[in-house]
Every structure is written in structure tokens, then in C-alpha cells.
Amino acid sequence: MEANLQKASSEELILSAAQEVFMEKGLAGARMQEIADRAGMNKALLHYYFRSKEKLFQVVITKAISSLLPRLLGVIETDLDLFDKIRHLTSEFIGFLNKNSFLPVFIVNEINRNPQFFFKNVVRQEKAHLDSFQRQVEEAVHQGRIRPISPDQLFMNMMSMVVFPFLAKPVFKEALGIPEEEYQRVIDRRRIEVADFLIQSLRP
């Protein structure tokens, strides 16, 4: 039992240190020695827990988004009305990113550095879950309940409105003169504002 607790503690220290280093330098610039130093252990022990930098990066990213994806995919797979589904998706996503604001910039940087690695190891297996959402949008268009729009365009609109305020946070804060504490409240209000805007734009 004690050995298991020690292993879990060591892995948490490594993952926390690795997240810091990956955020600062990306996958390409990160070094296992620096991660080991920040975790307060030797490099040999780091390699014992994680065989390679790429494996460690995959674990860090997967851990960071693992608490979000089940909630989003759970909403997508429900029988909720399309508008209710949009409200739940935007609220869950914005709420999560507001607590993990490092993630959008981190992910975008790594997609630009190595798109094949990222999609192969992180998101490719989740694509099938979007099929039910696409079918629901197509059905709503066919029934005349929403104006004609492709599911791809709706999904991109929703993701853009959710993610971009986190990517461009320094620009918005400076241009709009919004201090940090107020910006957090602005972002939190977007959990409702984004859904309202999207739903209004979809009405026939």
C-alpha cells in the first residue's frame, strides 16, 4: 500500500512538472532533465515512470482533457433537444476552460508543431462521437426547425466562440481595458451568451 502511494505521489509530481515545462517550451523544446529537476528527482527515476518524452506528453495532455471529454460526449449522446444540447455543451466547455485556461494555447501550439502526433494520440478516437450531433443538426434542418446550416459550420461556430476568448485573452484584456478579475466574470457570462447567440442565429 505504501509503495503504491509513493508511486502515485511521484507520478503526480512528474506530471505537474511536465505540464509546466511543456507549457513553457512545447514538446520539441522540453527536456526530460528539466522535468526531473522540477519534480525533484533524478532523470533515471523519471525514465522509470515514463519511458520517453512523447509518452509523458501524451499522458499530460490526456489527463488535462480527460475530465472534460466524458462530460461533453455525454451531452452529445443524450436525447436532449438540439438547443438544450447547445446550451449544455457551451456551458460545460467554457466552465472547464475558465478553470484550465492554459489548455487552448497549449493545444494549439502543439497542433501547429506536430499535428499528426496530436491527432493520432489525442483526438482521432473521439471523432465518431460527433456523428450523432451531426445527424441531429441535419434532421433539424430537414424538419425546418432551424435554418439551413451544415453541421460542420455549426460545430466550428460553436468551438470558435468558446475557445477564441481564451486564445486571445491578452488582446481582449488590453483592447477592452478589462482587468483579470472582471475578465473571469465576462468569460463566465459567455456560458449563457454564446448559447443564446447561436440559438438565435439558428431560428428560421
3-class DSSP state for residue 204?
Answer: coil
Q: What would you measure as the largest C-alpha separation in the chain, in angstroms? A: 63
- 2 confidence band (pLDDT: 50, 70, 90): very low
Compute the chain's Rg from CA coordinates: 20
Hey, do 2-63 and 67-202 end up sharing a CATH topology, with the first three levels equal?
no
pLDDT of residue 96: 85
Q: Where are the domains of the chain?
A: 2-63, 67-202
Q: Which CATH architecture has domain 67-202?
A: Orthogonal Bundle (1.10)
Q: Is the pLDDT confidence value at 3 over 50? A: no
Q: Which CATH architecture has domain 2-63?
A: Orthogonal Bundle (1.10)
Q: Is the pLDDT confidence value at 10 over 90? A: no
Q: How many CB atoms lie within 10 A of CB 104?
A: 18
pLDDT in tens, 164-184: 998 898 899 999 999 988 998
